Amino acid sequence: MPMNSVNTNVGAMVALQNLNATNTELATTQSRINTGKRVASAKDNGAVWAIAQNQRATSNALNSVKESLQRGQSTVEVAISAGESISDLLLQMKEKALAAADAGLDSTSRTALDDEFKSLKAQISKAVNNAEFNGSNLIKAGGVDVKSLANADASSVITVSAQDLTITALAIVSNSLTTKTNASTAIGALNAAITDVSSKLSKLGTGAKALGSHLNFISKLQDTVDAGIGNLVDADLAKESAKLQALQTKQQLGVQALSIANQSSGILLGLFR
């Protein structure tokens, strides 16, 4: 039979311990609901928090990889756009050269064609000089290759080689249409230049496609990593909501139980009346 004492109220002590435990659990549940996380800091679960933090570092690093790929993609696309313009200009130059190769052409007409030919050649140089993005120009003389990050630790890159599309590289610097012979020579040079530009544009297009495909992969990889982090640390809010209701009820009952236990010592006064 338990001892009746005014110095030691065992019932109140037990009720207080249970109430404290309920309050602690309730605070944890409320924290999870407020933050949306089951593991919000290292004290909640050190091992899981450390794993999640490492994965967050990977996810953040992938943001830099995506930015690098996007910059590279834009640089290559600008080069391709300029290259396509250059290809169109070469076709127009060939048209002028074919017209100038006509033996029956008078000198005035030939001079006009040569002027147009020179103007088109100058436009090629302008297209090359303006094909710059973020300080990079892939089609100028001595252009630097694009090297975009391919993974989160920068140990791998995707390289798109520069392609020189200047009139010097295309070997059409000295061509003119001043004579029928010069026009015939220009036609041969332009045919070679058109083939060369098409080949170089094909290489740039392949590089752009590689960058785009890898960017798509990195985006999916980052989504997967973020989902994994969520699986590790996110709280099940439906479960926590139901638990909150139960703990609030349990808390009210604990307060009531403690109140009853505290009244037991007062009952002893009746024994002395």
Per-state percent for the chain, helix, strand, coil, to nearest 5: 70, 5, 25
Q: What's the confidence (pLDDT) of residue 270?
A: 67
- Domain chopping of the chain, boundaries: 10-36+235-268, 75-233
Q: For domain 75-233, is the CATH number 3.50.50.60?
A: no
Task: Give the amino acid at 30.
Answer: Q
- To the question of pTM greater than 0.85 for the whole model, the response is no
pLDDT tens column, 73-99 = 999 999 999 999 999 999 999 999 999
Give the whole-angstrom CA distance, residue 171 versus residue 6: 109
Give the whole-angstrom CA distance, residue 24 versus residue 258: 16
Q: Which two tokens stand for residue 123?
A: 């436009």
Q: What's the confidence (pLDDT) of residue 180?
A: 92
Across the chain, which has 273 residues, the per-10-residue mean pLDDT values are: 63 83 82 80 86 92 95 96 96 94 88 94 95 93 94 93 96 92 94 96 96 96 93 82 81 82 70 64
Contacts of 153 (CB under 8 A, 6+ apart): 61
Helix (H) or strand (E) holding 158: strand 157-160
Q: What's the confidence (pLDDT) of residue 1?
A: 42
Q: What's the confidence (pLDDT) of residue 245?
A: 82
The DSSP code for 157 is E
Q: What's the confidence (pLDDT) of residue 271?
A: 64
pLDDT tens column, 178-200 = 999 999 999 999 999 999 999 99
Q: Which residue has the tokens 């890159």?
A: 157
